[in-house]
Amino acid sequence: MTGPQVSTAEERRRTLTAMLSAEPHRLRRRSISLGVRPDDADDAAQIAAMRAWRSIDGLERTDAGTMCSWLDVIARRTAIDLARRIPPTDGEVECERLRARHDVEHEAELHERLAVVLQSIRALPPELRDALLMSAVDGKSAGEIAERFGITPAAARQRVARARRALKRHPLMEGAPGLPDRPTG
Protein backbone atom coordinates (compact mmCIF):
# COMPACT_ATOMS: atom_id res chain seq x y z
CA MET A 1 0.00 0.00 0.00
CA THR A 2 1.38 3.39 -0.94
CA GLY A 3 1.29 6.57 1.14
CA PRO A 4 -0.86 9.63 0.42
CA GLN A 5 -0.49 10.97 -3.08
CA VAL A 6 1.01 14.46 -3.14
CA SER A 7 0.10 16.34 -6.29
CA THR A 8 1.20 19.42 -8.13
CA ALA A 9 -0.88 22.58 -8.26
CA GLU A 10 -1.70 21.86 -11.90
CA GLU A 11 -2.95 18.35 -11.05
CA ARG A 12 -5.09 19.71 -8.23
CA ARG A 13 -6.68 22.34 -10.49
CA ARG A 14 -7.25 19.77 -13.23
CA THR A 15 -8.91 17.40 -10.74
CA LEU A 16 -11.12 20.15 -9.31
CA THR A 17 -12.14 21.25 -12.80
CA ALA A 18 -12.97 17.67 -13.77
CA MET A 19 -14.99 17.15 -10.56
CA LEU A 20 -17.04 20.31 -11.05
CA SER A 21 -17.49 19.62 -14.78
CA ALA A 22 -18.67 16.06 -14.16
CA GLU A 23 -21.35 17.28 -11.74
CA PRO A 24 -22.05 20.93 -12.54
CA HIS A 25 -24.94 21.20 -10.08
CA ARG A 26 -23.13 19.48 -7.20
CA LEU A 27 -22.40 22.68 -5.24
CA ARG A 28 -25.88 24.08 -5.91
CA ARG A 29 -27.55 20.93 -4.56
CA ARG A 30 -25.22 20.87 -1.57
CA SER A 31 -25.97 24.53 -0.84
CA ILE A 32 -29.71 23.86 -0.85
CA SER A 33 -29.22 20.84 1.42
CA LEU A 34 -27.37 23.14 3.83
CA GLY A 35 -30.32 25.52 4.05
CA VAL A 36 -29.49 28.07 1.36
CA ARG A 37 -32.68 29.28 -0.35
CA PRO A 38 -33.01 27.86 -3.89
CA ASP A 39 -33.03 31.44 -5.23
CA ASP A 40 -29.57 31.97 -3.70
CA ALA A 41 -28.16 28.50 -4.42
CA ASP A 42 -26.51 29.44 -7.73
CA ASP A 43 -24.71 32.34 -6.04
CA ALA A 44 -23.64 30.10 -3.17
CA ALA A 45 -22.34 27.48 -5.61
CA GLN A 46 -20.37 30.07 -7.54
CA ILE A 47 -18.86 31.54 -4.37
CA ALA A 48 -17.92 28.06 -3.14
CA ALA A 49 -16.33 27.20 -6.50
CA MET A 50 -14.31 30.43 -6.47
CA ARG A 51 -13.18 29.79 -2.90
CA ALA A 52 -12.17 26.25 -3.84
CA TRP A 53 -10.21 27.47 -6.87
CA ARG A 54 -8.41 30.10 -4.78
CA SER A 55 -7.49 27.70 -1.98
CA ILE A 56 -6.67 24.60 -4.04
CA ASP A 57 -2.93 25.14 -3.48
CA GLY A 58 -3.38 24.24 0.19
CA LEU A 59 -4.76 20.80 -0.67
CA GLU A 60 -2.09 18.10 -0.72
CA ARG A 61 -4.00 15.07 -2.01
CA THR A 62 -6.26 14.80 -5.04
CA ASP A 63 -8.01 11.53 -4.33
CA ALA A 64 -11.79 11.72 -4.67
CA GLY A 65 -12.55 11.32 -0.95
CA THR A 66 -10.19 14.08 0.13
CA MET A 67 -11.40 16.48 -2.57
CA CYS A 68 -15.08 15.78 -1.81
CA SER A 69 -14.59 16.37 1.92
CA TRP A 70 -12.59 19.53 1.26
CA LEU A 71 -15.21 20.85 -1.17
CA ASP A 72 -17.98 20.04 1.33
CA VAL A 73 -16.24 22.10 4.02
CA ILE A 74 -16.03 25.04 1.63
CA ALA A 75 -19.73 24.67 0.70
CA ARG A 76 -20.70 24.56 4.40
CA ARG A 77 -18.66 27.66 5.22
CA THR A 78 -20.17 29.48 2.26
CA ALA A 79 -23.71 28.55 3.37
CA ILE A 80 -22.94 29.78 6.89
CA ASP A 81 -21.50 33.05 5.55
CA LEU A 82 -24.61 33.61 3.42
CA ALA A 83 -26.91 32.84 6.35
CA ARG A 84 -25.13 35.46 8.44
CA ARG A 85 -25.81 38.09 5.76
CA ILE A 86 -29.61 37.66 5.93
CA PRO A 87 -31.10 40.40 8.09
CA PRO A 88 -32.79 39.13 11.25
CA THR A 89 -36.09 40.64 10.13
CA ASP A 90 -36.35 38.04 7.32
CA GLY A 91 -36.26 35.27 9.92
CA GLU A 92 -38.83 37.01 12.08
CA VAL A 93 -41.17 37.45 9.12
CA GLU A 94 -40.77 33.77 8.20
CA CYS A 95 -41.51 32.68 11.79
CA GLU A 96 -44.61 34.85 11.87
CA ARG A 97 -45.80 33.41 8.56
CA LEU A 98 -45.30 29.86 9.85
CA ARG A 99 -47.14 30.63 13.10
CA ALA A 100 -50.11 31.99 11.15
CA ARG A 101 -50.44 28.71 9.21
CA HIS A 102 -50.39 26.58 12.35
CA ASP A 103 -53.87 25.18 12.70
CA VAL A 104 -55.51 21.81 13.28
CA GLU A 105 -56.44 21.24 9.64
CA HIS A 106 -52.90 21.92 8.51
CA GLU A 107 -51.51 19.62 11.21
CA ALA A 108 -53.88 16.82 10.16
CA GLU A 109 -52.88 17.19 6.50
CA LEU A 110 -49.19 17.06 7.39
CA HIS A 111 -49.77 13.99 9.55
CA GLU A 112 -51.57 12.20 6.71
CA ARG A 113 -48.88 13.08 4.17
CA LEU A 114 -46.14 11.90 6.52
CA ALA A 115 -47.94 8.59 7.06
CA VAL A 116 -48.16 8.08 3.28
CA VAL A 117 -44.49 8.86 2.78
CA LEU A 118 -43.43 6.53 5.59
CA GLN A 119 -45.61 3.72 4.27
CA SER A 120 -44.13 4.21 0.78
CA ILE A 121 -40.59 4.16 2.16
CA ARG A 122 -41.30 0.97 4.14
CA ALA A 123 -42.50 -0.68 0.90
CA LEU A 124 -39.08 -0.22 -0.73
CA PRO A 125 -36.65 -3.15 -0.89
CA PRO A 126 -34.26 -2.99 2.13
CA GLU A 127 -31.13 -2.16 0.10
CA LEU A 128 -32.86 0.78 -1.59
CA ARG A 129 -34.64 1.94 1.59
CA ASP A 130 -31.44 1.90 3.66
CA ALA A 131 -29.43 3.76 1.00
CA LEU A 132 -32.17 6.39 0.65
CA LEU A 133 -32.45 6.95 4.40
CA MET A 134 -28.68 7.19 4.80
CA SER A 135 -28.61 9.85 2.07
CA ALA A 136 -31.77 11.84 2.81
CA VAL A 137 -32.04 11.55 6.58
CA ASP A 138 -28.48 10.99 7.78
CA GLY A 139 -26.90 13.21 5.11
CA LYS A 140 -24.33 10.55 4.22
CA SER A 141 -22.35 10.92 1.00
CA ALA A 142 -22.30 8.30 -1.73
CA GLY A 143 -18.84 7.30 -0.53
CA GLU A 144 -20.06 6.71 3.02
CA ILE A 145 -23.06 4.74 1.79
CA ALA A 146 -20.82 2.70 -0.49
CA GLU A 147 -18.47 1.90 2.38
CA ARG A 148 -21.38 0.75 4.56
CA PHE A 149 -22.72 -1.63 1.88
CA GLY A 150 -19.37 -2.67 0.39
CA ILE A 151 -20.22 -1.26 -3.05
CA THR A 152 -18.84 1.51 -5.25
CA PRO A 153 -19.96 5.14 -4.77
CA ALA A 154 -21.57 4.99 -8.24
CA ALA A 155 -23.61 1.97 -7.15
CA ALA A 156 -24.61 3.81 -3.96
CA ARG A 157 -25.80 6.83 -5.98
CA GLN A 158 -27.68 4.46 -8.26
CA ARG A 159 -29.45 2.82 -5.30
CA VAL A 160 -30.55 6.20 -3.95
CA ALA A 161 -31.76 7.29 -7.39
CA ARG A 162 -33.65 4.00 -7.87
CA ALA A 163 -35.28 4.43 -4.45
CA ARG A 164 -36.39 7.97 -5.30
CA ARG A 165 -37.81 6.84 -8.65
CA ALA A 166 -39.62 3.95 -6.95
CA LEU A 167 -41.14 6.39 -4.45
CA LYS A 168 -42.32 8.66 -7.24
CA ARG A 169 -44.04 5.72 -8.93
CA HIS A 170 -45.53 4.31 -5.73
CA PRO A 171 -49.36 4.47 -5.88
CA LEU A 172 -49.58 6.13 -2.47
CA MET A 173 -47.29 8.96 -3.58
CA GLU A 174 -49.56 10.07 -6.44
CA GLY A 175 -49.87 13.83 -6.25
CA ALA A 176 -47.10 14.17 -3.67
CA PRO A 177 -44.46 16.86 -4.23
CA GLY A 178 -41.53 15.80 -6.43
CA LEU A 179 -38.37 14.21 -5.10
CA PRO A 180 -34.96 15.20 -6.46
CA ASP A 181 -33.52 12.58 -8.82
CA ARG A 182 -29.88 12.77 -7.80
CA PRO A 183 -28.32 12.08 -4.40
CA THR A 184 -25.68 14.47 -3.11
CA GLY A 185 -22.01 13.69 -2.71
Fold of 103-173: Arc Repressor Mutant, subunit A (1.10.10)
CATH of 9-85 among 3.40.30.10, 2.60.60.20, 2.40.128.720, 1.10.1740.10? 1.10.1740.10
pLDDT computed for residue 149 by the predictor: 93
**Which pLDDT band holds residue 2 (cuts at 50, 70, 90)?**
very low
Q: What is the pLDDT of residues 59-114, one digit of tens each?
A: 877 787 888 888 889 999 998 888 888 665 555 556 666 665 556 676 777 778 88
pLDDT computed for residue 113 by the predictor: 80
Q: What is the pLDDT of residues 124-163, one digit of tens each?
A: 999 999 999 999 888 999 999 999 999 999 999 999 999 9
Annotate 99-136 with b (16+ C-beta within 10 A) or e (fewer): eeeeeeeeeeeeeeeeebbeebbeebeeebbbbbbbbb
Domains of the chain: which residue ranges?
9-85, 103-173
Separation CA 137–CA 134 (nearest Å) = 6
- Does 103-173 match 9-85 at the fold level? no
